[in-house]
Structure 1
Amino acid sequence: MKKRIAWIMSSLLLLLMVGLIVAGNYFYDVAINRSNEAIELYGGTEEAVEAVSALEEEQKRLEELRNWTRKRNFESVEVETEDGLTLRAQYLENESPNGKVVILAHGYKGNSEQMPEITRFYYEEGYNILKPDARGHGKSEGDYIGYGWDDRLDYKEWINLLINEKDEKSIFLHGFSMGAATVLMTSGEDLPEEVKGIIADSGYTSLKEELTHQLNYLYRLPAFPIMEITSVVTKVRAGYTFSEASALDQVKKNKLPLFIIHGDQDELVPTEMANRLYEASNSMKELWIVPGAGHTEGFTVEEEEYKKRVKGFIEKVMNS
């Protein structure tokens, strides 16, 4: 009888382990693997997008942005990563340069074709602009998404390209969502003196905390033990764990001026993460919680104030 019970328990345990491994690989394929379609990790439905796009004013605004973008002479540039990937970006040289350049970091499952509003803003202010496709995105190589962790080392390559090939002397990093986490994680690295400051819009504290939040938000599931299993799968398949991919830990090492922007209505990357990131930094820092803004909506909700604060931050950095 005891042997039978032991056999049953062993079988159930084995089935549980197999089930967890299957679940871990499933969530890896959904959230980390490049080959899958984007899930609604940052919310929104097709119906909502269509409803917004149907508005005449919105259509006019988008067409203006498309026309402006088409008239710009973007140059294709690329770098090789330490692990042998070719990453690609668009570089826009300003016709009336102010001596500064900004690297714009896109979000999850995004690409360098996005962020037209902030691109135009920086261009009109005289900046040269670099817009990379993150590894696993757009025209860049890579089979998995790094969520900012491996990307922090990739951004050191982009920074070197700007210094060595474009002779840039004053570099700013400005990221949105996953791109914000990318520039925050980059901030903790040993960066050349040409990098002057970091702007992070709607960034998360760590990949583990963000995916834990999303697991509950999207699937209404508890984090344990799925998150731990998926992290192990990610270590095997992509080379990093959820725990080590921490913007919070990197910010603690940051010495550069830091401007954190976050909407007070952000349900997808909780606003409290912005407060914790701000508190963790020991450098010159600013925090703006945008009233009425959801995820990465600060520029849309408060465009003129957004521009004013970004310009003020950069001016303060350059004069310090």
Structure 2
Amino acid sequence: MKKKLIKLSSVIFIVGALLIILVGFLLAFIPARMTKIHTDKIVKLYLNDMSYDIEDFHDKCYDMIQEDELITEDGHSIPIFYLLKENTYDNKTIVLVHWHESNHKAMYPIAEFFLEQDFNVVLYDARAHGDNTAKTVTFGYYEKEDLGTVIDYVNSKMTEDNIIGALGQSMGGATVGYYSGSNHGSENLDFAIIDSGYTSMYDEIGWQIDSFFIPMPTELLTKLGNLSNNQVYGYTYKNVSIVDAMKKSSIPTLIIHSEIDKKCPYYMGKELYEAIPHDNKRLVTFNNSKHLCAFWDEQAKYEEAIISFIDEYVN
């Protein structure tokens, strides 16, 4: 009887250990893989939930859109959708960076707002999303390089100096924050807006594990996921530290975050804000909006926060 119990305990231990290792691998593999079909589906569901009409946007903005494709140094393509407010590239311009599992169409509502403010708007599909041909998502690590490529493209279209800003949501916000702390960002970006961003990939993965409906060994799984990510993709969760990058930021920055955000908790927004080493910054807090919903739930406050920030720190 004792031998059977020992044998059973050993089997349970081995199975449990294998499951934990498997979950650690999946934590690295699943979030990094996207398909065009999946991102199209998610965006359609999201905008339908918000009662937003994509076709109406196309009807209103069709004549403004200039499509292009950029080829990066590592060979993947970035589809570009350039909306020209007054049929000229020589205008103040905002680059919008979408969230994980979506594509450029998720940013249509915010694009409309900036067009109303007489900005040109640049949309693009981030790595492995939509029609971007990169194979994997890196949660800001290589996405910041793609953003830099897009910013270079915007500069190349202008014949005179103009304001260039970037706004990103969630992973897009992390990308904007990461880029804003780089030398290239400091030299080429006039302002940054980070909506619902996270502090680091390590923190975000840990938070998501803590949020599972059953208790999980968060620290162990995060370490296994970190190890798997390093083996499969060549970088670690801790390499993707937006908060460390923002300690080097020199540009005006607006942080937008909700206190009840369950995907990227509010403390992350506060830490990003506090990491910025200068005073040309602002943190705007929403109290009753879920992740990525502040624009919809309190649109007037959201838009006024952006307008007043740009008026004070940029114009």
Task: State the TM-score bracket (shorter-chain normalisation).
Answer: 0.7 to 0.9
Residue in 2 aligned with 1:175? 168
Is the CA contact (8 Å cut-off) linking 1:204 and 1:269 kept in structure 2?
yes
Is the CA contact (8 Å cut-off) linking 1:172 and 1:196 kept in structure 2?
yes
Amino acid aligned to 2:67: S
Query: What is the TM-score normalised by the length of structure 2?
Result: 0.85
Amino acid aligned to 1:88: P
Separation in 2, partners of 1:173, 1:104: 6
Residue in 1 aligned with 2:55? 66
Amino acid aligned to 1:303: Q
Residue in 1 aligned with 2:204? 210
Residue in 2 aligned with 1:78? 69
Separation in 1, partners of 2:23, 2:260: 31
Is the CA contact (8 Å cut-off) linking 1:169 and 1:194 kept in structure 2?
no
Amino acid aligned to 1:22: L
Shift of the alpha carbon at 1:256?
0.5
Is the CA contact (8 Å cut-off) linking 1:112 and 1:133 kept in structure 2?
yes
Shift of the alpha carbon at 1:166?
4.0
Query: What is the TM-score normalised by the length of structure 1?
Result: 0.83
2:302 equivalent to 1:306? yes
Shift of the alpha carbon at 1:26?
2.1
Deviations 1:60-89 (A, max 9, x none): xx23x5313333132222222232211212
Deviates more, 1:185-194 or 1:258-267: 185-194
Is the CA contact (8 Å cut-off) linking 2:180 and 2:189 kept in structure 1?
no
Residue in 2 aligned with 1:6? none
Is the CA contact (8 Å cut-off) linking 1:35 and 1:143 kept in structure 2?
no
Separation in 1, partners of 2:118, 2:298: 21
Separation in 1, partners of 2:108, 2:293: 14
Shift of the alpha carbon at 1:279?
0.8
Shift of the alpha carbon at 1:114?
1.3
Going from structure 1 to structure 2, the CA distance change for 1:292 and 1:115 (only over 3 Å counts) comes to same
Shift of the alpha carbon at 1:145?
0.9
Is the CA contact (8 Å cut-off) linking 1:196 and 1:317 kept in structure 2?
no
Q: Could you say what the CA RMSD is over the residues aligned between the two structures, in angstroms? A: 2.9
Going from structure 1 to structure 2, the CA distance change for 1:12 and 1:297 (only over 3 Å counts) comes to closer
Going from structure 1 to structure 2, the CA distance change for 1:174 and 1:36 (only over 3 Å counts) comes to closer
Amino acid aligned to 1:80: I
Separation in 2, partners of 1:108, 1:254: 23
Residue in 2 aligned with 1:137? 129
Shift of the alpha carbon at 1:306?
1.4
Q: Which runs of 5+ in 2 are unaligned?
A: 1-8
Aligned ranges for residues 79-118 of structure 1 at < 5 Å? 79-95=70-86, 99-118=91-110
Is the CA contact (8 Å cut-off) linking 1:34 and 1:142 kept in structure 2?
no
Shift of the alpha carbon at 1:126?
0.9
Residue in 1 aligned with 2:4? none
Structure 1 consecutive aligned stretches of length 4 or more whose deviation exceeds 3 Å:
9-21, 35-39
Separation in 2, partners of 1:315, 1:36: 38
Amino acid aligned to 1:239: G
Amino acid aligned to 2:76: L
Deviates more, 1:154-163 or 1:23-32: 23-32
Separation in 2, partners of 1:128, 1:170: 10
Going from structure 1 to structure 2, the CA distance change for 1:311 and 1:299 (only over 3 Å counts) comes to same
Amino acid aligned to 2:286: V
Going from structure 1 to structure 2, the CA distance change for 1:265 and 1:236 (only over 3 Å counts) comes to same
Q: Which runs of 5+ in 1 are unaligned?
A: 1-8
Separation in 2, partners of 1:211, 1:37: 24
Separation in 1, partners of 2:212, 2:172: 21
Shift of the alpha carbon at 1:17?
6.5
Identity of aligned residues (%): 26
Deviations 1:132-161 (A, max 9, x none): 100010000122111111101111111100
Going from structure 1 to structure 2, the CA distance change for 1:36 and 1:228 (only over 3 Å counts) comes to farther
Is the CA contact (8 Å cut-off) linking 1:170 and 1:194 kept in structure 2?
no
Is the CA contact (8 Å cut-off) linking 1:34 and 1:137 kept in structure 2?
yes
2:178 equivalent to 1:185? yes
Deviates more, 1:288-297 or 1:13-22: 13-22
Shift of the alpha carbon at 1:37?
8.6
Number of residue pairs matched? 298
Residue in 1 aligned with 2:27? 27
2:119 equivalent to 1:127? yes
Is the CA contact (8 Å cut-off) linking 2:252 and 2:313 kept in structure 1?
yes
Is the CA contact (8 Å cut-off) linking 2:35 and 2:129 kept in structure 1?
no
Is the CA contact (8 Å cut-off) linking 2:29 and 2:229 kept in structure 1?
no
